[in-house]
Amino acid sequence: MYHFNFTPVFDNFDLLLYGAWLTVRLSFAAMVLGLVVSVLGAVARTSRFRGLHWIVGAYVEVIRNTPFLVQIFFLYFGLPAIGISLGPNLAALIALVVNVGAYGTEIARAGIESVPRGQVEAGRALGLGPLQIFRYIIFRPALRNVYPALTSQFIYLMLTSSVVSTISANDLASAGADLNAKTFASFEIYLVVTALYLALSLLFSGLFRALQGALFNYPASR
């Protein structure tokens, strides 16, 4: 019979909460930067410049067809071989941005292509420039069309961030591993860590639903 003992966990619960905060901070920064990369990548993918189109396409294919663990190992362990050394937290952030940017590029591209071409042609007929057309005609409808898929990818990004503990980056998974090494209460620790990740997922989901309602006049409960 297994005897549950959560005392070591709750005696050090502040460490897990701090790890959860670090996960939120890292994930939020990666989401914001990843959104920028996604939009720029999608614009490049739909542009008339073939060279730019193929470069971004190659980036998307490489990232989407290689494991995230290999990508973060490449940045943290591989780059020092050519004289580029990154700290674990910086390497984790760059890896997350590069990874979510590739997936987000394809999502954003689908949103841009979902805008009726007639609206774009109407903007050109009114004398709007490319940036004005993108800002006033394409961006908002495209974002509305792909918003659920994009935010789902961001939540998956937050869960994927647990992998960064493999390079000693500071996050919830790393805090759980450190606490486990001190207390050996593996079952209890990772049960609580699982609950915290679930709580973070629900928190981000709620925030994204509220933001959807504010941006697109949707009921927050939808």
pLDDT in tens, 168-215: 888 999 999 999 999 888 999 999 999 999 999 999 999 999 999 888
Mean pLDDT, residues 40-67 taken together: 91
Residues 6+ apart with CB under 8 A from 173: 19, 23, 161, 162, 163, 164, 165, 193
**What are the structural domain ranges in the chain?**
12-216
Give me the pLDDT at residue 76, please: 96
pTM for this prediction: 0.90
d(CA 96, CA 68): 8
Q: The tokens of 157 are what?
A: 């990004």
Domain 12-216 has CATH 1.10.3720.10: yes
Amino acid in position 105:
T
- Predicted confidence (pLDDT) per residue in 2-21, tens digit: 788 889 898 999 999 999 99
pLDDT, residue 220, reads 46
Percent of the chain with pLDDT over 70: 98
Whether 146 and 107 have beta carbons less than 8 Å apart is answered as yes
Q: How many residues does the chain have?
A: 222
* 9 contacts 158 by C-beta, under 8 angstroms: no
